[in-house]
Structure 1
Amino acid sequence: MKANSLASMISSLNAVAMGESKADIVLKNCKLVNVYSREIVPEIHVAIKKDRIAYVGKDASHTAGEGTVIMDLQGKYIAPGFVDPHIHIDQYLLPSELAKKSLLSGTTSLFADPIDIVSVCGFRGFKEFVKLTQGLPMRFYHVVPGGLPVDRKFSHARTLTKKEELDGLKIENVIGLGEVFSWTRVTTQDPSTITSITNMLKNGGIINGHTAGASDKKLNAYIASGIFSCHEPIDYDQVLERLRLGMWVMMREGSIRRDLDKILPSVLSNKTYLDRLMFCTDGVTPKDIVEYGLIDHCVRKAISLGMDPIDAITIASKNSFEYYGMGKDLGAIAPGKLADILVLDDLERIMPDKVFVGGKLVVAHNRVVTDLPRVVIPNWMKKTVKTGTKFKEKDFIIKSKNNSEQVLVIRLDTEIITKMDNEELRVQDGNVASSYDKDIWKVAAIDRTYGTGKKTVAFLRNLGADIGAFGCTQSFHENDMIVIGSNESDMAFVANNLVKMQGGMLVAKDNKILSKFSLPLAGLISISPFEKTLDEYSDIDSKLADNGCKFRNPHLIPLFLPFLALPEIRILYTGVVDVKNRKYLKILNR
């Protein structure tokens, strides 16, 4: 959403405040959640001109004229719109569908890191994805991905050149560099990483951080390099260490991790300053949007843990905008600010009755009441699953002339955590076979970005489902096609159908589809309405669970199997990687 600058509005706002000109909208009889004075101010009136607030006080009658819309809020609370300062929105949902759910929850601004779109579609895709957020009735800000490549030795994702990173800053609402999560590349002064950071700082870009595992001198070196935020602390001690060093901390409560329970009780009991704390989700699945919400859930959660509602709302609004240097425009209800306003019946449920963005009513009575622009997706972004071949059973065979083989196994301890394991497997007709009894599966990582048809086939333990195969084209942040199978025939069937679908998730048995989730935009994002996306997303996990899968969120397994930012063992189309020791591993232990 494009905003009128404060500089361009000075005369008109001044005139309305003085009663010399008339407001477009007056909200009367409000209880103001004041994030500056930390109080509830009763009987407040707010006058809005165009998209900014001209007056906040006890009587706005002098700002009202014949053309002024006057809304009597009958003593309801008003609060600034919520903001998610770090979220990956290039997953599952179109930005337009996410916008609807965000607005209904009172989240009026999102700061997006579209790292996976870039890993598949490069700078051209980044520009097109930003376009998909323009014209929507909420505020989207973007950062140029700072996490690619994850590991230069192994990563094969598309990345941006230094020129493209700087060109990205010239795009409207692109404000800096996304999370630099390979912090060792900062502390060891990797030349490419330091150049990216330096370029951003020289050009006024903000840089988001990721400091999982860093402390003491390493954390100091990272912060001294101009990276002042982190969303990775998982407990109070980690939060406090970062606050003491001047960092801003985004407390995460999203689909991958929920950390507020381990952080906020100690924040409250120790009376820790709150001015550098924020809430973030890091990313939310369709199912969790329905079950929990977005930043509204963080506010409710904080209140339930004992936080004053005013403080929770301040963390959800003002703090994030001050971190991003946007405090003069956003984060509060005050003269000169953009009129992003929530109308709340109470300060417990945090369910907005009305939502204004830039002075425009966008939500009323749990309905989006504004039009959204038609979504136009370039055709090339719906044709990104390229394998260069039609798969056959033989493509998933691991050959051996022996009767059995000692093999390397990727053991799933959770959907995300992997460990290195070994197993002896039978060889059948020259093929090292998976084992139902031992819960050993074959797993393939396939290049689906460059069309080479290259792949690695290895072994996986602990899926525990009575299916033929499960595949996915979305994986952090390499976006290989991952296919897990109990037999080669179903693996080929799933791989071929994922290509035919041009992206998504698929569960099959006996060459029949049990469940599918279509993700044709870059192989990452559904182009369907939210309700259909939710149904397809939920059905994948349900089918796997109904068929005996051991894990609650099995869709996460293929997403994380190639993720090089986590130990211990990962699979790419180029091979199986020991992440800690940074080396490829042999699949057959000969």
Structure 2
Amino acid sequence: MGDKAADLVLENCSLVNVYSREILPETQIAISQDRIAYVGKDASHTKGKKTVIMNLEKKYVTPGFADPHIHVDQFVSPTEFAKKSLLCGVTSLFSDPIDIVSTCGYSGFKEFVKMTSGLPVRFFHVVPGGVPVDRKFSHGKTLTLTEEKSALKIPGVLGLGEVFSWTKVTKRDSKTMRTLSTMLENNCVINGHTAGASGKKLNAYVSSGILSCHEPINFEQVIERLRLGMWIMIREGSVRRDLKDIVTLVLSNKTYTDRLMFCSDGLDPADIARFGHIDHCIRESVKLGLNQIDAISMASKNCFDYYNMGKDLGGIAPGKLADILVFDDLKKMKPRKIFVGGRLVASNGTIVCKMKKHTVPKWMTKTVKLQKFSEDDFMVKSRANSANVNVINMKTEIITEKINENLSVKDGNVVASTDKDIWKVAAFDRTFGTAKHTVGFLKNFDAKIGAFASTWNFHENNMIVIGSNEKDMAKAANSLVSTQGGMAVVSEEKILASMPLQMAGIVSTNSFETVSENFANLNTVLAEAGCKFKKPHLIPLFLPFLALPDIRILSTGLVDIKNHSFLKIVT
């Protein structure tokens, strides 16, 4: 009304209005503290002696972008990730810190939420809904019902993360159903994961109050879920890129886009540096023919509508929090200026505000609870001259199948075979520090190295060691004990590449640039050594992943997913 002067007035801008689906030239936006007070042709009544007036010279302004489903507890700290994501125009991140929880429990969850506070990006969190993946086989840490209820009282915690073992819902697993009830009673959002679900099973899943999914990989899966009232997060990230196949058919079928969003599900340093983040999703969708404003709405308004936060965020209008992006043009989608809560946080590709640094507590840097390894730790004993063994055949970095092979036995030890491209693969319990471990066999890695080891894998966080000989396997494992986590490549007892992940064995405390360099070097070394897969770091990430067929390895044994049973290594 003009009774009080605004703190900031943005003049002469072209407003991308996600509410009316139009671009409004010569718009003025008045901001008081962290919220928008006025949007229109003339904000002169809001100006005072101390009002900062910024002429945007007809540049475009849009609401800040959001990633509605991302695992930020990967590779780099939240601070380091926020630096890169923010410059892509992403002002809100909806984090599902499932691996921090599987390694560090409720204390880790609370600490991680604390790490994301005070940054110039809005972090929202969900209580992980995916652990344990399978109570029979999983042994990672999880939250009790009491802890889940307590977590909901933490500012910024919105509800439940992806419930990806959907059979727990259709079979009415008691713990899962109690958790869902708690979330519904507290009016919380529950995120979904419905890969493989259809028909009555999908209906049952949706009826439980789970109304989103980021797993559709084609239009048929998208439309089935939309028809049941779900919201769809179109995934374009480092593990899967589904945008092109989905958006093309959304357009040809003239499907409503008001329940569609973009998400990454997680980004590695190489991909965010090369492609960007949600800005990349907008660019690619527009190239495919999507209306520019619809693409921006999917990157902003739709996300906050889904999370029931539309009264505060998602667009540029009176009363909304002033998360605003300024663009020279809408093709490149590279923000010139970025405001979060009315404060200028980035300008001309540079962060212009202080980035709060959080000290990682010592206990979170001591999660690789293993003793020094020797060659004996990687032996598979047999009294015969040769042995028939069950082998994990890598069809891709992620997809496996069970095959059988006959291997030689030397001095009572079943050995790997470079001729057959058969490797040893070992899994150790590094979270609890028990003596539990499994040594099995893997085919189709095809790299001329001695060993490749990792302490980071999705939701189980065993130490995984792949090797052609026991000496190098021990060397690789010991190197990760000394760094308290990470990935390492070894040949002839020399470390060829390493990526330390000191925090919980899954996140680096180093700078983004250092981690990016280590990550690139790790994959380059493996590629040059002959590994046939484009992203070999994904292999140890998914080897213990119980939500996918066909065969997985954990410290507790070799698991046949379809038959829900343990397998013998030597048959």
Match of residue 345, structure 1, among 294, 311, 328: 328
SS at match of 1:105: coil
Q: Which runs of 5+ in 1 are unaligned?
A: 1-17
SS at match of 1:21: coil
Amino acid at match of 1:504: G
| Alpha-carbon offset, residue 141 of structure 1 | 0.2
Q: Tell me what 2:50 maps to.
A: 67
Tell me if 1:244 matches 2:260: no
Mapped partners of 2:155, 2:76: distance in 1: 22
What fraction of aligned residue pairs are identical, expressed as a percent? 63
Mapped partners of 1:261, 1:103: distance in 2: 24
Tell me if 1:398 matches 2:380: yes
Tell me if 1:96 matches 2:79: yes
Q: Tell me what 1:334 maps to.
A: 317
Amino acid at match of 1:418: T
What is the total number of aligned residue pairs between the two structures?
Answer: 571
Match of residue 110, structure 1, among 83, 88, 93: 93
Q: Tell me what 1:492 maps to.
A: 474
| Alpha-carbon offset, residue 374 of structure 1 | 2.2
SS at match of 2:325: strand
Amino acid at match of 1:568: D
Amino acid at match of 1:179: E
Match of residue 62, structure 2, among 76, 79, 85: 79
Amino acid at match of 2:515: T
Aligned structure 1 segments of 4 or more residues deviating by more than 3 angstroms: none
Q: TM-score, normalised by structure 1?
A: 0.96
| Alpha-carbon offset, residue 453 of structure 1 | 2.8
Amino acid at match of 1:393: E
Q: Which runs of 5+ in 2 are unaligned?
A: none
Mapped partners of 1:63, 1:435: distance in 2: 76
Mapped partners of 1:121, 1:100: distance in 2: 25
Tell me if 1:517 matches 2:520: no
Q: Tell me what 1:230 maps to.
A: 213
Mapped partners of 2:98, 2:287: distance in 1: 33
Question: Over the residues paired in the alignment, what is the CA RMSD in angstroms?
Answer: 0.6
Mapped partners of 2:372, 2:391: distance in 1: 27
Q: Deviations over 1:226-245 (max 9, x none)?
A: 00000000111110000011
Mapped partners of 1:393, 1:260: distance in 2: 46
SS at match of 2:344: strand
Q: Deviations over 1:526-557 (max 9, x none)?
A: 11111101001111110000111111100000
Match of residue 42, structure 1, among 25, 32, 37: 25
SS at match of 1:222: helix
Q: TM-score, normalised by structure 2?
A: 1.00
Mapped partners of 2:220, 2:447: distance in 1: 39
Tell me if 1:463 matches 2:460: no
Q: Tell me what 2:394 maps to.
A: 412
Tell me if 1:529 matches 2:523: no
| Alpha-carbon offset, residue 351 of structure 1 | 0.5
SS at match of 1:116: helix
Mapped partners of 1:147, 1:96: distance in 2: 25
Match of residue 275, structure 1, among 253, 258, 261: 258
Structural mapping, 1:46-445, within 5 Å:
46-387=29-370, 389-445=371-427
SS at match of 1:239: helix
Q: Tell me what 1:4 maps to.
A: none
Q: Deviations over 1:39-78 (max 9, x none)?
A: 0000000000000000000011111111011000000000
Q: Deviations over 1:425-449 (max 9, x none)?
A: 1111111110010000000000100
Mapped partners of 1:430, 1:470: distance in 2: 24
Structural mapping, 1:541-580, within 5 Å:
541-580=523-562
Amino acid at match of 2:111: E
| Alpha-carbon offset, residue 204 of structure 1 | 1.8
Amino acid at match of 1:325: N
Mapped partners of 1:417, 1:202: distance in 2: 38
SS at match of 2:87: helix
Q: Deviations over 1:331-376 (max 9, x none)?
A: 0000000000000111111100000000000110000000011221
